[in-house]
A and B are shown apart, each in its own frame.
Chain A
Amino acid sequence: MKKELITLNINGDDHEIAVYPWRTLNEVLRDQLHLTGTKLGCGTGDCGACTVLLDGQSVSSCLTLAVEAQGQKITTIEGLALEAAANKDLEKCELDPIQESFIAKGAIQCGFCTPGMIMSTKFLLDHTPKPTEAEIRAGLSGNLCRCTGYNKIVDAIADAAEKISPTK
């Protein structure tokens, strides 16, 4: 079978690439484009470390074919921190409030689940700006973490929600 020439819009940039039809979005992001912020933790859609947004919808990039992602706006962890990435001086630029809350609240330990956690949180807060704790936990149930016991991640998400949509 031959490779197809496709264009993927990732974090606002168009990338023209040749891929086999069976290539996953995760493989393209990581192996071809070296956008390695998106992780691969299991390859079977169980752990959520590979979560990205397709037109704002969270998906497991390990279960999404690259060809399926054509014509959609792909956002990865690098895109969420786009200003940070564009600014050479990381210390001075602003991050997404979700990223800031994850840092401040101790929600990060080894950090391997973090990009996926943050992308799932982005999806959650875009659709449920004022989540209850149960809604946060349900929103994270597709993302596994082995370090934190999740509590500090839940705290961080509540903190971010408050920053994004302050209680009046």
Chain B
Amino acid sequence: MSTDHNFSVVGKSLPRSDGRIKAVGAAQYADDIFLPGMLFGKLLRSPVAHARIKSIDTSAAEALPGVKCVITGQDIPKVKYGNWRLVPESQDEYALAIDKVRFIGDEVAAVAALDKDSAEEAIRLIKVEYEELPGAYSVEESLADNAPVIHDEYHQDIPNISLDRKIEYGDLDKAFAEADLVLDDVFTVHATSHAYMEPCSCVAEYDHDGRLTIWTSTQAPYFVQCLLASTLEMRENDIRVIKPFVGGGFGGKMEMRPWEFCAAFIARKLGRPVKFTLTREEELATGRRRHPMRIHSKVGFSKEGMLLAKEFNVHLDGGAYNSMGPTACFLCGNFGAMLYNYPNYRYYGAHVYTNKPPAGAMRGFGAPQALFVAETQMNVAAEKLGIDPVDIRLMNAMETGDEIPGVATISSCGFKESLIKVAEMTNWREKRKNLKPGQGLGLGCYSFISGGVFNWFNTRYNFTSAEVRAFDDGTVHLMTMASDIGQGCDTVLRQILAEELGLKVSDIRLTAADTAVTPQADLGTWGSRVTLMAGNAVRKAAQEIKEELFRMVSLKFDLNVIHDLRCGDGKIYPANRPDRAVPFGEAVRMAQRAKRGEPVIGYGSYTPRNKGLVTPAFSFGAQVAECEVDKETGAVEVKFMTTAHDCGTPINPMSVEGQLEGSVHMGLGYALSEQFIMKEGKTLTTTFLDYKIPCAEDMPPGISVHVDTYEPDGPFGAKEAGEGLVSPTAPAIADAVYAATGYRCMDLPLTPQKVLAGMNKI
């Protein structure tokens, strides 16, 4: 693969291809779709956290004028679902509760009516008799003796632990015995909401010929297709999932959800289109969220600052169902071993059921939690050992070729450069010595995956694929199931294709994320997998086209076989004879003639193989937060954020910057302002007035620089950008608050109350 950085389209800050349609208000999101005869759906949710359903009476709802359908768990196939198809036992959800409800908000019944008002009224008329059961609302309560068993039928060695994971290498006991400094701390981290701006929505339509089409706000059309097929007892090919424009996901839209099932089920039953759209209150009160965790971390250092051992025990508060918890449990153990070389490491992670809304995948997926702990302990160790926090990290930092035994090998790595860069940019060493009262400077670092190599979904297809059709007018059509949910992959994949074929982005038409027409398959948008994986598939498809066109050009000029051919400026030409250029479209025409009318089509796929257990490539970075703490109120103000990051080749630097700035926003909210206030399983923070995501005035100024690396496994050297960077912000801010106040936060979020209590002011 070329490491030539003379790209013509890649590396350019092109405006996104869907900017204009979004700016004029013409982009259609799922709730913007109105079909003739469409009904409006509404879900009835459980008002109690743990109960047996004794009876449901839907007669009054059914009698209400305008109501066309009412369904409960008794009406649907008794098929459980979940993303971990590889372990069928882990699939623990019914679309509508059949036996028990397990959290406040668990879906119990669904209604479809002529209008929204009637649907809402009908929901109020359904009478459900519950036999309430004791609930467990925290890891401690769920693991206590005599705790209520939340899933009675799911075999578990320890009640309420749905699954666990262990990693171990080295000799921990020996290493801890030899350590000069051992830190042994318990941290707690909290749940946060994805708070994507577009509430979940879908429209389902049945075509009376056995096929169901659903337009849904999803990150993973293929997951929805497969799981709708199994739960509706239909064939996968009878389900067509189309992703319209999606208003953000951040991990919260990567599963099949009950409203998708209900819309599809009712559309099939009645032969009419049905739409379900959640309210923000439903999203915040019942929606998926980031895993709260209790993390017991013991780390040993030599007096010189070398890491000797780490024992990492994590209990994930998973809520009522597995959701994506198994993956978070898996990844948390990997992230606990990342960034630095831990010669001896032991991880135990347990996913614990509680009677709360399920936690799922969320931006960072185990990393924000694991790295808040790891980075905080690095800062504590640096202070105790009298070593600069930058230096202790440089001493232990991973670099290319390092291994987590049996788990991962580090390929491209700009971690040390990132550390050196942020230290330079912030004048770290000097500034730390000259802080004014109330001022603090803190450091946090991260690493993240560029997609996963694991196949918990048990797909029988390649992980991603692309088809490219070339036309004799000089254009190409890219078809891919990769899902743009706002992050910009439609633009990035077009840039990759344009670069490979020597075309302009405007020469490329794109059809994406429609399971009936885009090539099988793609696992969706999560784990920062799209640029690397779909990008590689697009390149391979383009390379097939290139080979075919090169043959034509070679034939036309009767070229010696040693000639190297190139694509560029819309032409194909021998590298050393650019005068002998054939326009791209003409080459396509020649190829088609040669094949007597057959079209020119390229196909490419990508599945990571022999890439360890985690990912083909890791991103890295470091961040410094400058904060001021008001010692009277405990309020923390972030004054400036400095970031250096390594994402390989940025395919679109403006898009990468947007991802990084968005990460700082989410990291800031995680550190300071966002939290669910819960009472016995009930979420009390159900509006954006109470659940506080940062607004424009809350955002600190900042600067970020890119550390130049080239990832050999990524398209044109690219890897992850914009997910990993949610992780360093909270530990960096917490470290700055410690520098300012002497209060070391080990329990997120960093609220003013905790800061004041930490300073012994309250």
Chain A contacts to B: CB under 8 angstroms: 30-31, 34, 36-44, 46-47, 49, 76-78, 80-81, 84-85, 90, 95, 99-100, 102-104, 106, 108-115, 118, 136-138, 140-154
Are B662 and A103 closer than 8 Å at their CB atoms? no
Are B24 and A99 closer than 8 Å at their CB atoms? yes
In the assembled complex, the Cα of A153 lies from the Cα of B23 at a distance in Å of 12
Do A84 and B24 contact each other (CB < 8 Å), given the known contacts A113-B197, A140-B696?
yes
For the complex, would chain B's binding face be called helix, strand, loop or mixed by DSSP majority? loop
In the assembled complex, the Cα of A148 lies from the Cα of B24 at a distance in Å of 18
The count of A-to-B residue pairs whose CB atoms sit within 8 angstroms is 187
Closest 7 CB pairs of A and B: A37-B25, A110-B486, A112-B247, A111-B22, A149-B661, A77-B25, A46-B688
Are B658 and A148 closer than 8 Å at their CB atoms? yes
Are A144 and B28 closer than 8 Å at their CB atoms? no
Shortest Cβ distance from A107 into chain B, in angstroms? 8
Interface size in chain B (residues, C-beta < 8 A):
57
> Does B654 belong to the interface (CB within 8 Å)?
yes
Residue numbers in B under 8 Å from A150 (CB-CB): 661, 665, 695-696, 699
Do A99 and B23 contact each other (CB < 8 Å), given the known contacts A41-B199, A46-B688, A110-B248?
yes
Are A42 and B688 closer than 8 Å at their CB atoms? yes
Determine the residue in chain A with the shortest Cβ distance to B117: A20
Do A146 and B661 contact each other (CB < 8 Å), given the known contacts A42-B280, A106-B13?
no
Are A152 and B197 closer than 8 Å at their CB atoms? no
> Does B260 belong to the interface (CB within 8 Å)?
no
In the assembled complex, the Cα of A154 lies from the Cα of B198 at a distance in Å of 21
Determine the residue in chain A with the shortest Cβ distance to B699: A150
Are B197 and A103 closer than 8 Å at their CB atoms? no
In the assembled complex, the Cα of A148 lies from the Cα of B662 at a distance in Å of 4
Residue numbers in A under 8 Å from B116 (CB-CB): 31
Are B198 and A43 closer than 8 Å at their CB atoms? no
Are A149 and B695 closer than 8 Å at their CB atoms? no
- B12-41, CB under 8 A of A: which get 1 and which 0? 010110111111111111011010000000
In the assembled complex, the Cα of A154 lies from the Cα of B663 at a distance in Å of 17
Question: With contacts A106-B658, A110-B248, A111-B18 known, what are 5 further pairs, Cβ within 8 A?
Answer: A106-B654, A109-B486, A146-B197, A146-B665, A147-B197
Are A114 and B688 closer than 8 Å at their CB atoms? no
In the assembled complex, the Cα of A153 lies from the Cα of B657 at a distance in Å of 12
Contact of B245 among A38, A100, A111, A153 (CB under 8 A): A111
In chain B, residues 645-699, which have Cβ atoms closer than 8 Å to a Cβ of chain A? Answer: 654-655, 657-658, 660-666, 687-689, 693, 695-697, 699
Contact of A39 among B196, B198, B662, B702 (CB under 8 A): B198
Residue numbers in A under 8 Å from B279 (CB-CB): 43
Determine the residue in chain B with the shortest Cβ distance to A36: B32
In the assembled complex, the Cα of A115 lies from the Cα of B15 at a distance in Å of 17
> Does B195 belong to the interface (CB within 8 Å)?
yes
Residue numbers in A under 8 Å from B19 (CB-CB): 102-103, 108
Residue numbers in B under 8 Å from A47 (CB-CB): 197, 280, 688
Are B26 and A147 closer than 8 Å at their CB atoms? no
Do A149 and B665 contact each other (CB < 8 Å), given the known contacts A46-B689, A90-B20, A111-B245?
yes
- B388-415, CB under 8 A of A: which get 1 and which 0? 0000000000000000000000000000
10 sampled A-B residue pairs with Cβ under 8 A:
A36-B31, A42-B687, A90-B21, A106-B16, A108-B18, A110-B197, A111-B486, A146-B196, A146-B665, A149-B665
Do A106 and B199 contact each other (CB < 8 Å), given the known contacts A46-B688, A148-B662?
no
Contact of B247 among A110, A136, A149 (CB under 8 A): A110
Shortest Cβ distance from A31 into chain B, in angstroms? 7
Are A149 and B662 closer than 8 Å at their CB atoms? yes
Residue among A81, A114, A149 with max Cβ neighbours from chain B (10 Å): A149
Determine the residue in chain B with the shortest Cβ distance to A93: B24
> Does B246 belong to the interface (CB within 8 Å)?
yes
Do A111 and B20 contact each other (CB < 8 Å), given the known contacts A47-B688, A103-B15?
no
Are A112 and B198 closer than 8 Å at their CB atoms? yes
Residue numbers in A under 8 Å from B247 (CB-CB): 39, 110-113
Contact of A90 among B24, B199, B487 (CB under 8 A): B24
In the assembled complex, the Cα of A126 lies from the Cα of B281 at a distance in Å of 34
Do A44 and B687 contact each other (CB < 8 Å), given the known contacts A104-B15, A143-B696?
yes
In the assembled complex, the Cα of A44 lies from the Cα of B281 at a distance in Å of 9
Determine the residue in chain B with the shortest Cβ distance to A31: B116
Shortest Cβ distance from A122 into chain B, in angstroms? 12
Are B280 and A44 closer than 8 Å at their CB atoms? yes
> Does B342 belong to the interface (CB within 8 Å)?
no
Residue numbers in B under 8 Å from A112 (CB-CB): 29, 196-198, 247-248, 486
> Does B250 belong to the interface (CB within 8 Å)?
yes
> Does B524 belong to the interface (CB within 8 Å)?
no
Residue numbers in B under 8 Å from A108 (CB-CB): 16, 18-19, 22-23
Are B485 and A110 closer than 8 Å at their CB atoms? yes
Contact of B23 among A81, A110, A152 (CB under 8 A): A81
In the assembled complex, the Cα of A149 lies from the Cα of B22 at a distance in Å of 18
Shortest Cβ distance from A63 into chain B, in angstroms? 13
Residue numbers in A under 8 Å from B451 (CB-CB): none
Residue numbers in A under 8 Å from B20 (CB-CB): 90, 95, 99, 103
Residue numbers in B under 8 Å from A34 (CB-CB): 34
In the assembled complex, the Cα of A32 lies from the Cα of B247 at a distance in Å of 22
In the assembled complex, the Cα of A78 lies from the Cα of B19 at a distance in Å of 15
Determine the residue in chain B with the shortest Cβ distance to A139: B696
Determine the residue in chain B with the shortest Cβ distance to A150: B696
Residue numbers in B under 8 Å from A84 (CB-CB): 24
In the assembled complex, the Cα of A46 lies from the Cα of B695 at a distance in Å of 11
In the assembled complex, the Cα of A14 lies from the Cα of B246 at a distance in Å of 31
